[in-house]
């Protein structure tokens, strides 16, 4: 149910049964709403270094942000590294020219089946299966190398994402500070207006 809640709200995390059992009693004892409890569990899943006591007083928006920042860094390559990564992928694919050759051979053999005798068809199909097995093996090897390369660049990307998160938080703080200063000025203005009115009443 919790995982379905995440999916319905566009949150792609997964709370394991182990995590749920570990924190369920504590979460229920917090006397918070079901939605709040689910967001606490999600935040814990993405931030295992935190304690439930550190999250229980956060509001829903804070918990969502805490999780989204980690989700945005997961399985992604920073824009600054994408060109370099794509170049590396192209170079890696170029190391497997046999894949293209095998695809052409399989296509040619498949097209040659028309008009052949049953014996010839059987022989060609055996050859096709042999080539397909070789092709599958090469593609698996190439895909594994690409996965390793992607994992490497995801790790390299983390500092870039963390820097953006810090910059974003800094801007938010600056905006909040400006709003707070403006609010203080308004309050002072109201106070001055109140004192002026009070003085005017006394001088009448």
**Per-residue pLDDT for the chain (204 aa), expressed as one digit of tens each?**
555 555 554 444 445 555 555 556 665 666 766 667 777 777 777 666 667 777 778 887 787 777 766 655 556 788 888 889 899 999 999 999 999 999 999 999 999 998 899 999 999 999 999 999 999 999 999 999 988 888 888 878 878 877 766 666 666 677 777 777 777 777 777 777 777 677 767 666
How many beta carbons lie within 10 A of that of residue 66, not counting itself? 19
Max Cα-Cα span within the chain: 119
Whole-angstrom Cα distance, residue 165 to residue 66? Answer: 10
Question: CA nearest 42: which of 78, 6, 95, 8?
Answer: 6
pTM beyond cutoff 0.75: no
CA 130 → CA 99, 107, 115, 136, distances in Å? 14, 13, 22, 10
pLDDT, residue 152, reads 86
The pLDDT value recorded for residue 127 is: 95
Angle between helices 34-46 and 17-28 (to 10 degrees): 130
């Amino acid at each position: 149910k919790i995982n379905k809640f995440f999916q319905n709200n566009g949150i792609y995390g997964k709370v394991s049964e182990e995590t749920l059992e570990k924190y369920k009693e504590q979460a229920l004892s917090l006397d918070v709403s079901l939605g709040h409890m689910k967001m606490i569990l999600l935040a814990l899943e993405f931030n295992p270094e935190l304690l439930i006591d550190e999250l229980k007083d956060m509001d829903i928006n804070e918990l969502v942000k805490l999780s989204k920042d980690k989700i945005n860094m997961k399985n992604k390559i920073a824009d600054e590294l994408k060109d370099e990564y794509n170049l590396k992928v192209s170079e890696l694919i170029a190391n497997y020219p046999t894949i293209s050759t095998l695809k052409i051979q399989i296509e040619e053999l498949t097209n040659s089946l028309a008009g052949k005798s049953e014996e010839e068809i059987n022989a060609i199909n055996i050859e096709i299966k042999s080539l397909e097995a070789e092709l599958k093996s090469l593609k698996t090897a190439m895909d594994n190398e690409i996965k390793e390369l992607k994992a490497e660049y995801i790790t390299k990307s983390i500092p870039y994402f963390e820097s953006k998160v810090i910059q974003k938080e800094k801007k938010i703080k600056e905006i909040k500070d400006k709003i707070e200063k403006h609010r203080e000025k308004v309050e002072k203005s109201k106070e001055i207006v109140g004192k002026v009115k009070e003085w005017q009443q006394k001088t009448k």
